[in-house]
């Protein structure tokens, strides 16, 4: 009798074996879903941070002198582009709003004004650098803040800020911009607390004496295949050699540095949750020990018959060990299908979990929708670990079955 027929007979006689496979499927499905969501968060977060901050950010010691920095950066190997930015904080409100006369008003929105050059942010360039300028400089708002202010493209917004020290005594400045476009932003905070303008327009509005050389940071992007950490070291060395940064405090940051605590917390949570939820798989696989021991106890006479017909201890051990491995494989396959379905229908699952309310709020989790990414290496590790656990836990009852003397089994 083949092992396949013996396995089929055992599964028919003990439905509890199928329940063990189902328990493994639940555990694998949960781990697959959690890992895929966290991998998605990490992938989208990296994409968002590198889209906004590039691979390396160079923070300037002053608000001028971009030409010197550009000359030094041109010598860096593997550098694809280096663009200056002028970042300045401002309060934004509707043009002519009385709220602008009272900065304490809740109708104002505090935004980081990001002054860009053409080619810096491709996804917002069309609204900033194409089409007629009219009488007002263009501005691109995040969709969230545009909805909050109730403005749409073509309308005017006024920005209140303070002139830089280089422009003389500290004084408020007030500039009117035209909303050229809105953008969704890679992350929630980018949509709600930033506005993009042309660097030259912002420098002119704030009265920077350095004019077109005014910048507060440089966004450096590497060529395809260049490691961002390697590029960071090269940029730092080039600027130190040019005397533009202090070796003790360089002001050169990689994209991981810009990700900050949120990036590190997601990475830590991925490892912790993966380990915690994998214990669910181990508990489910451990049930195979009890289930197979009961199966061995019920099949003592059948084991004796097999022994009397010439089946040696090795064949009997192989039968029960492969039965446990088969259950682990079936459970793993079912869990992968379950996880694939859940990650493909996360909105439905979210509504089930929240009783019709959203559970993953964008202002907390940074993204409007739950990102998902399938990492082949993570899936391979999950499958391998589950099958290994199922096989190892099956060896104990398999070994016990192989040690039963055929004569003793037949006499019971």
| pLDDT recorded at residue 99 | 46
291 plus 230 within the same structural domain = no
73 plus 210 within the same structural domain = yes
220 plus 89 within the same structural domain = yes
Contact 180, 30 (CB under 8 A): no
- Does residue 95 fall inside a structural domain? yes
pLDDT tens digits, the chain, 412 residues: what are they? 454 555 455 555 556 666 777 888 888 888 888 888 888 888 888 787 888 888 899 888 777 788 888 888 888 899 888 899 998 888 887 655 444 454 444 456 788 888 888 878 766 766 666 655 567 888 888 877 887 778 888 888 888 888 777 656 677 788 888 888 887 766 666 667 788 888 888 888 888 866 678 888 889 999 988 898 899 999 988 888 888 876 656 688 888 888 777 777 777 777 777 777 777 777 777 776 667 666 655 555 555 555 555 555 666 667 767 777 888 888 889 989 998 998 888 777 777 766 666 666 655 666 667 788 888 888 888 888 888 888 887 777 666 666 555 545 445 5
- Which run of H or E residues covers position 204? helix 199-206
- Does residue 55 fall inside a structural domain? no
The whole-angstrom separation of Cα 114 and Cα 152 is: 19
| pLDDT recorded at residue 20 | 76
Where a domain ends, among 245, 274, 304? 245
| pLDDT recorded at residue 246 | 67
- Which run of H or E residues covers position 198? strand 194-198
Q: Quick one: angle between helices 3-13 and 313-344, nearest 10?
A: 70
Contact 20, 393 (CB under 8 A): no
Where a domain ends, among 245, 275, 302? 245
306 plus 231 within the same structural domain = no
208 plus 95 within the same structural domain = yes
Task: List b or e across 30-45, with b for residues whose CB sees 16 or more CB atoms inside 10 angstroms.
Answer: bbbbbbbbbbbbbebb
116 plus 226 within the same structural domain = yes
224 plus 309 within the same structural domain = no
Residue of 85, 94, 136 whose CA lies nearest to 113? 85
- Does residue 367 fall inside a structural domain? yes
The whole-angstrom separation of Cα 354 and Cα 349 is: 9
| pLDDT recorded at residue 404 | 58
| pLDDT recorded at residue 42 | 82
289 plus 403 within the same structural domain = yes
Where a domain ends, among 196, 212, 245? 245
What's CA 393's distance to the chain center, in Å?
34
Domain that holds residue 397: 3-47+261-411
307 plus 284 within the same structural domain = yes
36 plus 149 within the same structural domain = no
Q: Tokens for 48?
A: 């968002």
286 plus 233 within the same structural domain = no
R_g (Cα) of the chain, nearest Å: 32
216 plus 300 within the same structural domain = no
Structural domains of the chain, count: 2
Contact 404, 81 (CB under 8 A): no
The whole-angstrom separation of Cα 326 and Cα 117 is: 60
- Does residue 104 fall inside a structural domain? yes
């Amino acid at each position: 009798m083949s092992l396949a027929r013996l396995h089929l007979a055992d599964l028919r006689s003990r439905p509890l074996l199928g329940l063990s496979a189902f328990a493994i499927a639940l555990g694998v499905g949960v781990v697959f879903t959690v890992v895929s969501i966290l991998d998605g968060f990490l992938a989208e977060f990296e994409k968002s941070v590198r889209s906004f901050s590039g691979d390396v950010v160079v923070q300037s010691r002053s608000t001028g002198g971009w030409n010197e920095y550009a000359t030094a950066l041109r010598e860096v190997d593997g550098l694809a582009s280096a663009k200056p930015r002028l970042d300045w904080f401002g309060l934004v409100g509707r043009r002519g709003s009385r709220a602008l006369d009272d900065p304490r008003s809740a109708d104002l929105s505090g935004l980081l004004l990001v002054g860009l050059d053409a080619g810096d942010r491709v996804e917002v360039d069309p609204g900033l650098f194409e089409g007629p300028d009219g009488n007002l400089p263009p501005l691109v708002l995040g969709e969230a803040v545009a909805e909050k202010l109730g403005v749409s493209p073509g309308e005017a917004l006024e920005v209140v800020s303070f002139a830089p020290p280089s422009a003389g005594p500290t004084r408020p400045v007030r500039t009117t911009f035209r909303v050229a476009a809105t953008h969704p932003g890679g992350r929630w905070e980018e949509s709600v607390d930033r506005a993009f303008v042309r660097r030259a327009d912002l420098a002119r509005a704030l009265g920077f004496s350095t004019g077109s050389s005014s910048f507060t940071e440089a966004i450096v992007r590497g060529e395809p295949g260049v490691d961002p950490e390697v590029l960071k070291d090269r940029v730092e060395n080039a600027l130190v050699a040019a005397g533009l940064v202090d070796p003790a405090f360089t002001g050169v940051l990689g994209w991981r540095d810009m990700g900050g605590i949120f990036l590190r917390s997601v990475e830590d949570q991925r490892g912790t949750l993966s380990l915690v939820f994998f214990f669910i798989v181990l508990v489910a696989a451990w049930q195979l020990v009890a289930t197979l021991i009961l199966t061995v106890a019920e099949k003592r006479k059948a084991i004796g018959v097999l022994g009397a017909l010439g089946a040696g201890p090795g064949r009997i051990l192989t039968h029960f060990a492969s039965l446990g491995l088969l259950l682990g494989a079936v459970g793993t396959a079912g869990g992968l299908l379950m996880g694939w379905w859940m990650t493909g229908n996360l909105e439905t699952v979210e509504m089930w979990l929240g009783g019709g309310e959203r559970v993953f709020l964008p202002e907390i989790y940074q993204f409007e929708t739950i990102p998902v990414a399938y990492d082949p290496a993570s899936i391979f590790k999950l499958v391998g670990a589950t099958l290994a656990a199922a096989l190892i836990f099956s060896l104990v009852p398999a070994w016990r079955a192989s040690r039963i003397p055929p004569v003793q089994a037949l006499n019971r």
